[in-house]
Amino acid sequence: MMTRMFGLTAVCAAVFALAACGPGNTAPPGNSGTGNTPVANNGGGNDTVENGNGGDSRFNAVDSRKAQVQAAWTYLKTQYNKPPSQDDPRGLMSGWGAKSMNVPYTAMVLQGLAGTDVWKSDDAMITDSVKWLLDVQEPTGAWSYMPGVDSLRGIRAVYITSIMAQLLSDLNKLDAWKGKLDNNIARAVDYLKQSQVGNPEGPAGDYDEKSVGFGGWAYSKEEIDDSVKARGKPPANMSTTSFAIDALHACGISEDDPLWQDALTFLKRNQNAGEVQDEGFEAFAKVKNADGATEEKKLKMAGRGSKDYGGAIYSEETSMADGYDTNEDGTVTLYSYGSMTYNLLRSFLFAGLKKDSIPVKLAWGWIQNNYTVERVPGFRKPEQYDMGLYYYYMSMAKTLDAFGADVVAEPERGLEHDWRLDLIKELESRQKDDGSWINDNHDRWQENSKVLCTAYALMALKHTSP
């Protein structure tokens, strides 16, 4: 009985840690350094990662990527079916596979491996994990963190179901699963659609379009109703929303579906640019004043000339980049940061905006001005630079791949960065001897889990393939 109770407590802790891993990331604008490879004005031919070395004859990006994936797989095999440890004070579930009872870790590991050289469709670790994941889909179409535990049903289900829907979309094109997962995907899509704030078939179907959270996704459909009743608004945020949009895009939701227009309403309200805000919408941020007391201030999005202009915050009222600027009129402007800005740009594209649209151009401009693979741009405090680092790498790679960018240009300095090469090099330098990755400087958002960071790194590497 004591073991069972520990397991439940551990999972509860891990659930809330995972939910936070999407938000928040860090570092000041600034983009030079040893980890960033300019491919313009370098005195030679501008080779890219496609040619293997990015202009560096000593480094072969293709071979490096393959070696990193192979080493990661060697490590992950040691963590297969590893249950949560009673020695883990934070309750982090370190394994993957059915006996780990950890749906999101298992799904992210599989998604990072699918289609790579180490992927074998007849490997029992892979086939048994996929079978388990399919077996534990709930009647609602969702997945829970720990299947079969009623008290955890629905918690963070949008995150987890979005991860699962993306995995199944990949598997539905692969090997023995090809074309056989349509029903599972359709049920997941229904759940995600109903979880959008304002969806007529969801728990907040009559939610006011002018209110905070409209058009976005909160942690789960089940949590929206409780939050609206308790606080008058749902906990919709950019991280959960981007996961849901990734999933719906991967599952082929029609461009004509009205959910995209509602999603764009939410996305634009999270862009730190006054010119894209809709008239009549207001948001208020809770900030700490000079005395350390918390007070509510009206929010004003950044204007031209601000280092935050065009970037993204976590929700219409919050930023995980801890800080704000006070304006002359008493309003406050929150700090933009990297992870959510990459998420925002990718979500804009998947929701139907074109590259020449103002929101997309502004987000891309912020990314150009804040390009780096050495830290997470946006936080001002050096001790916070690595918070959510591996989540950032995944978000960055997915977005730049979706954007179709081979290089990220810094117009002001006349540089162009080969982001694929930079990221492959940086991940190689950070990979541990056992093949894993882990955030050495911050455990926030569960990045002291080797399995989670390794899954993030694998997904980032996957998107560096031209």
Q: Read off the pLDDT of residues 355-375 as tens digits, 9 standing for 90 and up.
A: 999 999 999 999 999 999 999
The reply to whether 399 falls in a domain is yes
Q: How many CA atoms lie within 13 A of 428 on its CB side?
A: 17
Comparing C-alpha atoms, which of 342, 340, 348, 15 is closest to residue 160?
A: 15
Number of DSSP helices (H) and strands (E) in the chain, helices first: 14, 6
Higher pLDDT: 10 or 347? It is 347
Task: Name residue 314's amino acid.
Answer: Y
Q: What are phi and psi of 326, to 5 degrees?
A: -95, 130
Grade residue 19 by pLDDT with cuts at 50, 70 and 90: very low
What 3-state DSSP class applies to 184? helix
| Residue pair 103/133 in contact by the 8 Å Cβ criterion | yes
| pLDDT number for residue 322 | 81
The reply to whether 143 falls in a domain is yes
Comparing C-alpha atoms, which of 259, 318, 325 is closest to residue 20?
A: 318
Q: What Å distances lie between residue 157 and 175, 208, 218, 446, CA to CA? A: 28, 23, 9, 17
| pLDDT number for residue 231 | 61
Residues 118-152: pLDDT tens digits? Answer: 999 999 999 999 999 999 999 999 998 888 777 77
In this predicted structure, the answer to whether residue 105 has a pLDDT above a threshold of 90 is yes
In this predicted structure, the answer to whether residue 248 has a pLDDT above a threshold of 50 is yes
The reply to whether 279 falls in a domain is no
| pLDDT number for residue 96 | 96
The reply to whether 246 falls in a domain is yes
Looking at the DSSP bridge assignments, the partners of residue 217 are: 196
The reply to whether 77 falls in a domain is yes
Picking from 53-57, 93-97, 209-213, which range would have the lowest pLDDT averaged per residue? 53-57
Average pLDDT over residues 92-104: 86
Which residues 6+ apart lie within 8 Å of 356 measured at CB?
none
Q: What are phi and psi of 186, to 5 degrees?
A: -60, -40
* Region class of 257: left (phi > 0), else alpha (psi between -120 and 50), else beta: beta
| pLDDT number for residue 88 | 59
The reply to whether 118 falls in a domain is yes
Dihedral (CA of 433, 434, 437, 438) sign: negative
| pLDDT number for residue 235 | 79
Average pLDDT over residues 178-206: 93
Residues 280-296: pLDDT tens digits? Answer: 899 999 888 888 888 99
Average pLDDT over residues 203-229: 81
| pLDDT number for residue 411 | 84
In this predicted structure, the answer to whether residue 458 has a pLDDT above a threshold of 90 is yes
| pLDDT number for residue 38 | 56
- The proportion of the chain whose per-residue pLDDT surpasses 90, expressed as a percent, equals 65
CA pair distance 239, 333, nearest whole angstrom: 20
Grade residue 298 by pLDDT with cuts at 50, 70 and 90: very high
| pLDDT number for residue 37 | 56
- The parent domain of residue 205 ranges over 2-262+340-462
Q: Per the structure, how many domains does the chain have?
A: 1
Q: What are phi and psi of 406, to 5 degrees?
A: -90, -30
288, containing H or E segment? strand 284-288
The reply to whether 312 falls in a domain is no
| Residue pair 419/362 in contact by the 8 Å Cβ criterion | no
Grade residue 57 by pLDDT with cuts at 50, 70 and 90: low
Q: What is the pTM of this model?
A: 0.89
Average pLDDT over residues 403-417: 92
Grade residue 30 by pLDDT with cuts at 50, 70 and 90: very low
Picking from 103-112, 175-184, 232-241, 314-323, which range would have the lowest pLDDT averaged per residue? 232-241
131-152: b (≥16 Cβ within 10 Å) or e: ebbbebbbebbbbbbbbebeeb
| Residue pair 285/299 in contact by the 8 Å Cβ criterion | yes
Higher pLDDT: 167 or 316? It is 167
- For residue 384, give the CATH number of its domain: 1.50.10.20
The reply to whether 329 falls in a domain is no
Average pLDDT over residues 396-416: 94
CA pair distance 116, 462, nearest whole angstrom: 8
